[in-house]
């Protein structure tokens, strides 16, 4: 019973692997992957810009808090 299960899993893995290898060699699949990666890079750049803006805003608030703290101590 265990042997049959392992054999089935191996066979399914082989079929999936062969299918992926065929797909990877396809020019259409390659172009789709390139487009997807390009869009992912654009999304990454946009996210980095948003995070940088948030970081700058947080830095400004920390600086203003330090100034207010110094005023309060006087």
Residues 6+ apart with CB under 8 A from 63: none
pLDDT given for residue 29 in this prediction: 86
Query: With a threshold of 0.85, does the pTM exceed it?
Result: no
- Domain ranges in the chain are 2-73
Query: Residue 73's pLDDT is what?
Result: 86
Cα–Cα distance measured from residue 26 to residue 21, given in angstroms and rounded to the nearest whole number: 9
What is the tens place of the pLDDT at every residue in 10-60?
A: 999 999 999 888 888 889 888 998 999 999 999 999 999 999 999 999 999
């Amino acid at each position: 019973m265990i042997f049959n299960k392992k054999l089935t899993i191996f066979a399914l893995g082989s079929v999936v692997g062969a299918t992926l290898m065929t797909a990877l060699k396809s020019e259409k699949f390659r172009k789709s992957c390139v487009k997807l990666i390009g869009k992912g890079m654009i999304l990454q750049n946009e996210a980095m810009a948003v995070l940088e803006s948030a970081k700058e805003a947080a830095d400004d608030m920390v600086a203003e808090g330090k100034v207010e703290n110094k005023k309060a101590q006087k």
